[in-house]
Amino acid sequence: MCYAIPGKVLEVEDKAVTVSYFDEKRRARNDLYELIPGDYVYAQGGIVVQKISASEATEILKSWKELFFKLKEKDTRLASNPKDLRQIANSIRHKELGNSCCVHGIIEFSNHCTQRCLYCGLNSGKKAIKRYRMAPDEIIEAAYDNITGLGFKALVLQSGEDDWYDADKLVYIVNGIMKRSPALIILSIGERDENLYKKLYDAGSRGVLLRFETSNESLYSEFKPGRDLKGRISLIEKLRDTGYLVMTGFQVGLPGQTQDDILKDIELTASLGTEMFSFGPFIPHPDTPLAGHNASESLDLAIDTIARARIMKPDAKILVTTALETLDKEEGLKKGLMAGGNSLMINVTPAKLRRFYDIYPGRASIDMEVKDQVDKVLRLLKDIGRAPTDLGL
Ligand code: 5AD
């Protein structure tokens, strides 16, 4: 199974390439490979992440061709005659970006965390939780299985803020993955040093997932003791300027967060100039200070947030988070995708560890085999006319 359609390079202009997918032209950035017109590549999030042989590409393109056009037709049908906020957002997504939906894998490689975020079940004050760390070689091996074995072209490496993984270890991991099974590596390791991030860029990672959590400074300081919003924003901007594809956003439905805050959150997300957004409903964890909060409106608020962000930033990639699925197991992902979302994640953390990554309770899909999760996502995407692939920009 594959989660990307290979594109044929038409033009190369320094670091910008034009790639064609069944005669649709897209742009992508390339600084990892020597390319000439006629080469075949995979691009993820607008970045060339793999070069493949013409014979392999032709095989894969053959298997896609018919399905690709059928899915498009279905998506066009479902996106026509929009009537409400979510449908309008969906029709904008359709018009601006077509029917491609990136499917990323996520490996939660450590649940150790030095921070004490009030909303998070991994906060360092929580003693009862069983902590784990995957060894660097174990992470490289898991990445290989998912990229080469299962066809993922983008992989999020997520952990708490865990200094045990110093620059040497993290560079070793990124290098090891890029040598064995190149892909878009997206780091989600928290507020680490800017120079560390630079080293990891040089090692070949090209994405960072770092939410600012809330744009309300006083809520931020309250929920993240010892940290301030300005520092976080400044790091996000620096990472963007380094060349990282940055995925940012916030939690929706936090205690004390108003509708006005949420609009400001969306504005901040759009103004940071990053390419990808991630908004998730806040889900109270029973063992945290925010346990008693009533979050019954989080789900709808989060879906409307996706829609508003899509309207504000028509060409963004917007992730539909697992937290939506957690709150609505049957329809959460679909609702997000039908309200402007166009990106998903599948949890590929080794099964024995998944339940210990306890950021919030009842996480969806933690007991499912990766293959079953993939099948479920592919069924959903087919049902709504989306192609499980990323065509670049
Ligand atoms: N509910 C929803 N999302 C949460 N996160 C942490 N705790 C919770 C919670 N209780 C999110 C944060 C973080 C991401 C990895 O998980 O937004 O950035």
Nearest CA to ligand 1 atom 18: 211
Whole-number pLDDT of residue 303: 98
Q: Are residues 127 and 11 in the same domain?
A: no
Tokens 């040497």: give the residue: 168
CA of 197 from ligand 1 middle (Å) equals: 21
Closest CA to 349 of 113, 118, 152, 119: 152
Whole-number pLDDT of residue 44: 82
Q: Are residues 39 and 167 in the same domain?
A: no
Q: Is residue 107 part of a domain?
A: yes
pLDDT < 50 regions, the chain? 1-2
The number of domains in the chain is 2
Whole-number pLDDT of residue 2: 45
Q: Are residues 260 and 147 in the same domain?
A: yes
Whole-number pLDDT of residue 392: 57
Ligand 1 pocket residues where CB is under 6 Å: 119-120, 211, 213, 251, 280, 282-283, 285, 323, 359-360
Nearest CA to ligand 1 atom 2: 282
pLDDT tens per residue, range 205-262: 999 999 999 999 999 999 999 999 999 999 999 999 999 999 999 999 999 999 999 9
Nearest CA to ligand 1 atom 6: 120
Q: Are residues 230 and 372 in the same domain?
A: yes
Among 120, 220, 257, residue to substitute to test ligand 1 (most atoms within 8 Å of Cβ): 120
The token duo for 132 is: 């784990």
CA of 283 from ligand 1 middle (Å) equals: 8
Q: Are residues 49 and 134 in the same domain?
A: no
Whole-number pLDDT of residue 1: 38
Strand partners, 21: 24
Give the range of the structural domain holding residue 315, as residue numbers without chain letter.
85-384
Q: Are residues 70 and 97 in the same domain?
A: no
Atom of ligand 1 nearest to the CA of 281: 2
**Reported pTM:** 0.93
SS3 per-residue string spanning the chain: CCCCCCEEEEEEECCEEEEEECCEEEEEECCCCCCCCCCEEEEECCEEEEEECHHHHHHHHHHHHHHHHHHHHHHHHHCCCCCCHHHHHHHHHHHHHCCECEEEEEEEEECCCCCCCCCCCCCCCCCCCCCCECCHHHHHHHHHHHHHHCCCCEEEEEECCCCCCCHHHHHHHHHHHHHHCCCEEEEECCCCCHHHHHHHHHHCCCEEECCCECCCHHHHHHHCCCCCHHHHHHHHHHHHHHCCEEEECEEECCCCCCHHHHHHHHHHHHHCCCCEEEEEECCCCCCCCCCCCCCCCHHHHHHHHHHHHHHHCCCCEEEECHHHHHHCCCCHHHHHHCCCCCEEEEECCCHHHHCCCCCCCCCCCCCCCHHHHHHHHHHHHHHCCCECCCCCC
Nearest CA to ligand 1 atom 13: 211
CA of 136 from ligand 1 middle (Å) equals: 24
pLDDT tens per residue, range 320-356: 999 999 999 999 999 999 999 999 999 999 999 999 9
Whole-number pLDDT of residue 77: 97
Q: Are residues 236 and 350 in the same domain?
A: yes
Whole-number pLDDT of residue 256: 96
Q: Supply the CATH number for residue 256's domain.
A: 3.20.20.70
CA of 359 from ligand 1 middle (Å) equals: 6
Atom of ligand 1 nearest to the CA of 288: 10
Nearest CA to ligand 1 atom 16: 359
Q: Are residues 238 and 259 in the same domain?
A: yes
Nearest CA to ligand 1 atom 7: 120
Q: Are residues 22 and 124 in the same domain?
A: no
Residue ending a domain, among 30, 45, 76, is 76
